[in-house]
């Protein structure tokens, strides 16, 4: 079974100790690869090839564990419902697993897996539409974390350097409109946080440091 299927299976698992078990598996596996077959949920974070479990990327495994730790805030029944709302059919669930793994693979090691988990939880609590998850999660992955922290904690867009405002615009967090046009040419811009940007800052703000 593909690791993407294991990941979706873990999200649907009725276990109160999902995060604890997965994180323990990651750390034990990092110390001793022979322990892999003894950990029940180890297939969630490991690629399985030809019947032999191996860690192809321990960093990715740790990212998956952090994501699962964050979504463990949702009861198993709500996690399963969220998966169904995001995917639905078995074929689409496999695709969802592949998309989640790709996003986690591209995420920074610490903060963005936690942010993606908070987005998933927000969908589960019906605070964010399931149809928005893919777009919002891509925004989280693509934004430079330092820029997002500046936007979140400085309190005023004008406090964010102009060059970084354009970077935040490129990742979907800011928008601008012409404010004043000078007679001799040139203009000043009026910046605002987009609806999607506000949604992300509300439900999964970046961690500090």
Rounded-to-integer distance, Cα 40 and Cα 28, Å:
13
User: Minimal CA–CA distance to 11: which of 59, 56, 45, 57?
Assistant: 45
Structure tokens at 80: 């399963």
pTM score, whole prediction:
0.78
H and E: helices and strands count for the chain: 10, 4
Q: Is 87 helix (H, G, I), strand (E, B) or coil?
A: coil
pLDDT for 188: 81
Which secondary structure element, helix H or strand E, spans residue 49, and what is its range?
Answer: strand 47-49
As averages over each run of 10 residues, the pLDDT of the chain (209 residues) reads 69 62 52 44 43 50 81 86 87 86 87 94 96 96 94 88 94 88 73 96 83
């Amino acid at each position: 079974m593909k690791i993407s299927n294991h990941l979706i299976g873990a999200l649907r698992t009725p276990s109160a100790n999902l995060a604890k078990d997965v994180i323990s598996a990651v750390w034990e596996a990092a110390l001793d690869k022979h322990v892999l077959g003894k950990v029940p949920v180890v297939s969630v974070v490991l690629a399985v090839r030809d019947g032999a479990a191996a860690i192809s990327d321990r960093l990715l495994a740790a990212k998956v564990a952090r994501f699962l730790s964050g979504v463990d805030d949702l009861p198993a029944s709500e996690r399963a419902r969220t998966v169904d709302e995001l995917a639905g059919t078995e074929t689409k669930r496999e695709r969802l697993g592949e998309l989640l793994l790709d996003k986690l693979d591209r995420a920074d090691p610490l903060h963005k897996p936690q942010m993606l988990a908070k987005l998933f939880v927000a969908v589960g609590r019906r605070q964010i539409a399931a149809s928005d998850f893919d777009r919002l999660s891509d925004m989280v992955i693509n934004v430079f974390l330092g820029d997002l922290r500046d936007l979140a904690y400085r309190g005023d867009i004008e406090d964010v350097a102009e060059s970084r405002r354009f970077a935040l615009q490129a990742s979907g967090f800011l928008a601008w409109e012409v404010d004043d046009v000078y007679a001799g040419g040139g203009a000043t811009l009026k910046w605002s946080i987009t609806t999607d940007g506000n949604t992300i800052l509300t439900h999964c703000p970046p961690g500090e440091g």
